[in-house]
Chain A
Amino acid sequence: MPQPSLPRFAGFGLGMRTEHYDAYLSGTAPADFVEIISENFMGEGGRPLHLLERVRQNYPVAMHGVSMSIGSADGLRADYLARLKRLADRIEPLWVSDHLCWTGVDGFNSHDLLPLPYTREALETAARNIALAQDLLDRPLLIENPSSYIHFADDAMAEWEFLAELTRRTGCYLLLDINNIYVSATNHGFDPLAYLAGIPLERVRQVHLAGHSAGQDGLLIDTHDHPVPDPVWALYAQAMPMLGKVAVMIERDDDIPPLETLLDELALARRLAKPGESLAA
């Protein structure tokens, strides 16, 4: 079913992490929106939902999920979608996003964002699943580009071609993770600017910025436990003039620093979003 177009939201936000709840509850954190990990608020009740509803009174909220598994050959889980819809209906988010990945099949759930082979069959599977999720949720999805550490022997297209075709087939939008582009480009040896050139940028509604770590064998690992590094800032500064009005967010999930540190990063994100600005300024 065709989805309604998703209005743009221009702003700079942070992830809602427990360490900084007080600032979001009081509304004193100078952020334009907050992003939640959807699954953390999909329990039946209790303090998480109670706090989220109070935060929602102060900020627009973007819902970001990790468990939809849109690339699973087994299809989507009805119980998951029902809970996600209940949360979305309750919170009225800016949008609901998840990842271009799969998490398991045959009743097994790895709880990891596993890479898809970029084949015709995987494309048809992901498109079918996204269309179903959008229909059930009654809203368009944002799909995030993943970071990856392998690619498959049968890959028939590049990741950006896969994403472009998904947006065309399903009407979904994109959450562009600049760090993930950088990490995957480094791990697989492609040009991140070719990635940006191949993405339908008019479908991007949100940008993620994050840090990564150096793993074994020269691979970069998307750990979200470091500040945004200079090469990611540089790629972001190149991408922003192409994107128009989008929501930008600092994604920090581990070794959470004081809020002021994240706000400094957010201030840099605001500055670099303006044409002509650079890290050196």
Chain B
Amino acid sequence: MTLHDLQSEFCSFLRSDRATPLASVAPAAQRGLGVYHFAHRATLGAALRDVFERTHAWLGDARFEQAADRHIALHPPSSWTLADYGAGFDETLSALYPDHPEVAELAWLDWTLRAAFNGPDSPELDLAGLAEVDWDRARLVINPTLASRPIVTNVALIWQALDDGEADPPPADRLPSEAVLTVWRQGLVPRFQTIEFVELDALGLAMRGESFGAICAMLAKSSAGSEAAAAQAGAMLQRWISEAVLVALT
């Protein structure tokens, strides 16, 4: 048996439902196979519990373990780092709980906050130089850790209550209209915020390299008037600067 064949067979063994004997293992050592079989699942389960702490708190032990088992069965790990293993867990939960969208939204928030925690660093915006900026032509460099997704529930309130350790987090509730949840890291601290779709459109333009003038023009089309659009753009820009969503200008 080649080394590759032996290792391939061992990987199949780890992924199988039960620890069964392997001919490549010495007869006297077969009892040790169970240690590896158990450890593989335990490691992946622990990785999910570590990242999805608030999702776990929301679902409770039994439902979380059931979801973890399903994810492990469907998604064999492939990355060099265990830190990547939670990718797609929100989709596993969405399939398991189609009538409870807050579950997948919570998982997405847990996962994306962790990704922002370890994500790329950003330069500090040169505040002193802002007065000299030609805003109409300026291009905005958005924080590289910024991620977003549409939400339909009060997931932000639930996550915060769970993070605060509240015994009675608010019940899941539908938002009056679909919104957007954004996650990014300000300095060393991951943050999240609920925004409207028009702000997501503005961020999208900035990330595609459009000028601030182009962002203002887009806002003018979707606002009640040019004064309202200018006020909206100004408020947005001020918040992006103060919260490190905007990290540089070119």
Question: Which A residues have a C-beta under 8 Å from some C-beta of B?
Answer: 39, 42-48, 50, 67, 72-74, 77, 79-80, 102, 104-112, 114, 117, 119, 121-122, 125, 148-155, 187-188, 215-217, 219, 221
Contact = CB atoms under 8 A, between A and B. Distances in A.
B11 interface: yes
A109 B7 contact: no
B119 A44 contact: yes
Contact of B30 (A107, A125, A150): A150
Contacts of B39: 112
Main secondary structure of the interface of B (DSSP, over half): helix
5 contacts: A45-B120, A72-B7, A111-B43, A114-B10, A117-B3
- Interface size for chain B: under 10, 10 to 19, 20 to 34, or 35 or more residues? 35 or more
B8 A39 contact: no
Contacts of B202: none
A90 to B, nearest CB: 12
B224 to A, nearest CB: 40
B81 A67 contact: yes
A118 to B, nearest CB: 11
A105 B32 contact: no
Main secondary structure of the interface of A (DSSP, over half): loop
A117 B36 contact: no
A201 B43 CA distance: 33
B117 interface: yes
Nearest to B22: A150
A111 B77 contact: yes
Contacts of B36: 110, 112, 114, 149-150
B83 interface: yes
Contact of B8 (A50, A105, A121): A105
Contacts of A187: 32
A117 B29 CA distance: 13
B11 A108 contact: yes
B4 interface: yes
Contacts of A104: 7, 11, 77
B185 A80 contact: no
Interface string B4-28: 1011101100110000000111110
Contacts of B188: 46-47, 50
A42 B81 contact: yes
A216 B38 CA distance: 12
B80 A77 contact: yes
Contacts of A48: 118
What are the 7 closest A-B residue pairs judged by CB atoms, nearest first?
A43-B118, A149-B32, A45-B121, A73-B4, A150-B32, A80-B80, A44-B120
A125 B119 CA distance: 34
A36 B147 CA distance: 30
